[in-house]
Structure 1
Amino acid sequence: MSNDLPPSPNQGFLADYLQFLLSTASGLASHGFHLQAAEAGLPVAEWRVLACLWDSDGNTITEIARLAQMEQSRLTKVVDRMDARGLIRRERSAEDRRLVHVWLTDTGRALADTMVARAKQHEAEFIAASLTEAEGKRLKALLTKVIKRASAETAHAVRR
């Protein structure tokens, strides 16, 4: 039996364990796009930062760490690399010197625009291969509901 596939429904605990199902689905859904990002010379951690800034340029390191689901110390190293590559720039807050805001450069914005378009295309293809359009919308709505409820009850961010 291949280790790449989840167990069949009659194989016990994992086959019906929500966290396992979510993790497996996430890995399968992300894999093809992560390959595209790698081909573009973009590590997954950098893609996450670009996506966060594409949505809300100028976020603080703390907020990006929360959204990108990364330990802040790891994110700082990622941001250092991205700064050296000319994808982002950092500015310390004038109001609170402890806060550092991160902005996309023109180069970073162009790469983010390209990769967000690719991510949207990959998502559409992945959903179309597995679900109807209505099922895809419903799945996203259910996941959003779960995330909002769980986030309201959890004081800390998920970190990977």
Structure 2
Amino acid sequence: MSREKPAQPAVSELRSHIGFWLRFVSNHVSHAFSRKLLDSGVTAAEWVILREIFDTDEIPPSALAEQTGLTRGAISKLIERLVVKKLVSRKEGSDDRRYQRIALSPAGRRLVPTLATLADQNDREFFKPLTGKERQALVATLKKLVHAHDLHKLPTE
């Protein structure tokens, strides 16, 4: 008496998923940018923090955590690394030492435009095969997904 095996559900191909292709491209874009950042001594995560601070005079770490979607612990570690690199300064409140304000140092303020140029260059190089219209459509589609899923955490890696 032979028993037939139950039919196995079809297993989708790895490359049939949009997420696969998004991650594939994202990893390569991020890797290319990280390589461009090597000479600056700044990581991609540190670049995100520096760029977020650039448009402010001072910012508390809690606001930076809220802006980026990172935990306060992750923000504290990134800020500490940037303080050691002398790219940001940290000021404690006179009344409450737990209250801090973070600001770019003069060196940090000079570095951000240079890093922004590298980010712009990376985008131009990587997305060069797309027409202007295709780039606009891609960005619009990605922004639609960000909005639809209420995404807030900034990519840092």
Task: Tell me, yes or no, whether TM beats 0.5.
Answer: yes
Counterparts in 2 of 1:14 and 1:139: CA distance versus 1, 3 Å:
same
Distance in 2, matches of 1:14 and 1:55, equals: 41
- Secondary structure, counterpart of 1:42 in structure 2: coil
The number of aligned residues is 146
How far does residue 78 in structure 1 lie from its aligned partner after superposition? 1.7
Residue 138 of structure 1 aligns with which residue?
Answer: 137
1:48 corresponds in structure 2 to 48
The residue aligned with 1:21 is 21
Question: TM-score normalised to the size of structure 2?
Answer: 0.74
Write the letter of the residue equivalent to 2:145: V
Q: Per-residue deviation at 1:101?
A: 3.2
Deviation at 1:15, TM superposition (A): 1.7
Cα deviation digits, residues 86-120 of structure 1 (max 9, x gap): 11122356899765332111110111110001111
> How far is the alpha carbon of 1:67 from its aligned partner?
4.5
Give the equivalent residue in structure 2 for 1:150.
149
Q: 1:96 and 1:144 mapped to 2: Cα distance? A: 40
CA deviation vs aligned residue, 1:131-153 (integer Å, no higher than 9, x gap) = 112111111121112112222xx
Partner of 1:32: 32
Identity %: 27
Secondary structure of the structure 2 residue equivalent to 1:12: coil
Relative contact order: is structure 1 or structure 2 higher (C-alpha 8 Å, sep ≥ 6)?
2
Considering only aligned residues, what root-mean-square deviation do their CA atoms show, in Å? 3.0
In structure 2, what is the Cα distance between the partners aligned to 1:90 and 1:79?
8
Q: What is residue 107 of structure 1 aligned with on the other side?
A: 107
SS in 2 for 1:86: coil
Give the number of the structure whose alpha-carbon radius of gyration is greater: 2
Read off the aligned partner of 1:123 and give its amino acid letter: D
Give runs of aligned pairs for residues 5-16 of structure 1, distance below 5 A: 12-16=12-16
| Alpha-carbon spacing, 1:73–1:131, altered in 2? closer, same or farther (3 Å) | same
Query: Residue 68 of structure 2 contacts residue 154 of structure 2 at CA under 8 Å; is this kept in 1?
Result: no
Counterpart contact for 1:127–1:133, Cα < 8 Å? no
- TM-superposed deviation, 1:43: 1.9
Using a 3 Å threshold, how does the CA distance of structure 1 residues 135 and 94 change in structure 2: closer, same or farther? farther
Give 1:117's aligned amino acid.
T
Displacement of 1:34: 0.7
TM-score, normalised by the number of residues in structure 1: 0.73
Conserved in 2, the CA contact under 8 Å of 1:88 and 1:108? yes
Q: Which runs of 5+ in 2 are unaligned?
A: 1-10
5+ long unaligned stretches in structure 1: 1-10
Query: Aligned partners of 1:53, 1:141: CA distance in 2, in Å?
Result: 26
SS of the residue 2:149 aligns to = helix
